[in-house]
Structure 1
Amino acid sequence: MNDESLQRANAFLAAVVERVAVGEVMTDTPAEIGRALGLPDALSTARAVRALIARRRLEPANGSYRLLDARPVDAGEKESIGRRPRRARGAAKPRGGRAAGGSPGYSDLGRAVADKVVELGRENAQLRAEARQLREETRDARARMDEAERRARSSSERARELEGRAEMAESNLRSLLASARGSNVRSDTPVGDAEMAAILGVLKGEDAEQSGVATGGPSDEHDDSETGDELAQPSGTPAAG
């Protein structure tokens, strides 16, 4: 320690002795004492405090420093607390390999990161393939659903058309039966064979004579002639017999 540092350390120690007794903890901070002494900067104050700690004049305590000895520091006085020895440069850890304790180095970390990236890439490719397959299956299912809906609409339209035709045929049959029976015959009267044959003959475009020949038998001919007479009469005149 040179003379200037020795003078600053003793001046700092004297200021501490003026403020506290031996064994007590400093109430002022080293920065405040350094400003009071007129030290040039905080580094000079820190060096003075370190020199006093090394020679057992001060010790850290409760976030501050405790005064251990009020004697000034002599010029040739050695440090009571030695400094931590510096680590030799040759003992530095190699950058490329592992440390002596077996901890992983940068190369191992990079290799692990690369392996993880490759694994994630494979998983991503697999997920993409599965997503593509699901999209294709969804497209096929949507096409089948559209086809089923189209067939359902076509069947519904066909059913409505058939219902309309059935209603029209029923209306025509009712009109034909009403004209064949006459106005004084109840609508719920059962239809006989002769009347049914006459209706079929009209529907097929045949005349009454051909209808009578097709039925055959004396009783059928008699019924057909009666039916023909009924058809020949006007709709407003009651049928005879």
Structure 2
Amino acid sequence: MNEESLQRANAFLAAAAARTDVGTVMQVTPAEIGREIGLPDPLSAARAVRALIARERLEPAQGSYRLVDSRPVDPNEKETIERLPRKRRGPPARASDRSAEAGRPTYSAVGREMVEKLIELGREVGSMRASLRTAREEARASREARVEAEQRAEHLSSRVRDLEGRAEMAESNLRALLATAKGVGREPRTATMGDSEMEAILGVLKGGDPGPAVEGSSAGESGD
């Protein structure tokens, strides 16, 4: 033990003896005593404790240390508790050798597997994006066709309504014209034309069969 280690060990022992009676367990941690006596770090306190244990001043007990003897350590005092000899360490085995011996995959194999999996996932994502793009284009085309069909149907409906209105107006005008033409030169009581006669005249104008109403009307006029 060098001089500095001896001084630190004796200072630690004196601080512990000031707090703890001989034969009792310390109630403070070595780190607290080390800070009290000004040790630079907890490692220095641990080294002092180890030196005191080796010289039978302290002993482990109840998760702490028991003060066995409060006498300062003599510079020439030898360790009474011998340290276990350190085992010689051989050259560290390679990680690949350990993995191969244990039957576990190596980092390179895991990395290669991950890269292949990422490539496969990338291909699947690309295929799904292409399918999604095609589906969107088809949906847009269908939507445009539907809108165009709705517009065409609306236009045709409007045209049909317009033609129906014109036909009704023409029929009304024709009825009024026929009624006026038949009422010229007759008595007021005979100025009104029957619906059957008007229907027959409209049928003739439209290119249909005049029907019996027209024949009856013609016969009546010839009799007059």
Tell me, yes or no, whether TM beats 0.5.
Answer: yes
Change (3 A) 1:157 1:55: farther
Pair 1:82 & 2:88 matched: no
* C-alpha distance in structure 1 between counterparts of 2:87 and 2:194, whole Å: 129
Q: What are the ranges of 5 or more consecutive residues in structure 1 without an aligned counterpart?
A: 205-210, 227-240
Count of residue pairs the alignment pairs up: 209
1:24 is aligned with what amino acid? T
Q: Tell me the distance in 2 between the aligned counterparts of 1:225 and 1:23.
A: 157
Moved beyond 6 Å, runs of 4+: none
CA deviation after TM superposition for structure 1 residue 125, in Å: 1.2
Q: CA RMSD in A?
A: 3.8
d(CA) in 2 for partners of 1:184, 1:96: 128
**Deviation sequence 1:134-192 (CA, Å, 0-9, x none):** 01211221232122113212211221221122222221232124214435458684434
Alpha-carbon spacing, 1:189–1:86, altered in 2? closer, same or farther (3 Å) = farther
Conserved? CA contact 1:23–1:66, under 8 Å: no
| Secondary structure at 2:68 match in 1 | coil
- The two structures have a TM-score, normalised by structure 1, of 0.66
Q: Which residue of 2 aligns with 1:173?
A: 174
Letter in 2 for 1:66: Y
Distance 1:200 1:131, change over 3 A: closer
Residue-by-residue CA offset, 1:30-88 (whole Å, 9 max, x unaligned): 3443354454x2243332023234556232745xx2215226556221545637x4672
1:11 shift after superposition: 3.5
The aligned runs of 1:54-203 (5 Å cut-off) are: 54=54, 57-59=58-60, 61-62=62-63, 65-67=64-66, 69-70=68-69, 72=71, 75-80=77-82, 82=84, 85=86, 88=89, 90-94=91-95, 98=99, 100-182=101-183, 184=189, 189-192=194-197, 196-197=200-201, 203=205
Q: Deviations over 1:104-161 (max 9, x none)?
A: 4321231132022112102211211210220121122123212211321221122122
Per the normalisation by structure 2, the TM-score is 0.70
Q: Report the residue type matching 1:25 in the other structure.
A: V
Counterpart for residue 236 of structure 1: none
Measured after TM superposition, the shift of residue 99 of structure 1 is 5.7
1:230 match: none
Corresponding residue of 1:234 = none
> Kindly tell me: are residues 10 and 158 of structure 1, through their superposed partners in 2, closer, same or farther at Cα, counting changes over 3 Å?
same
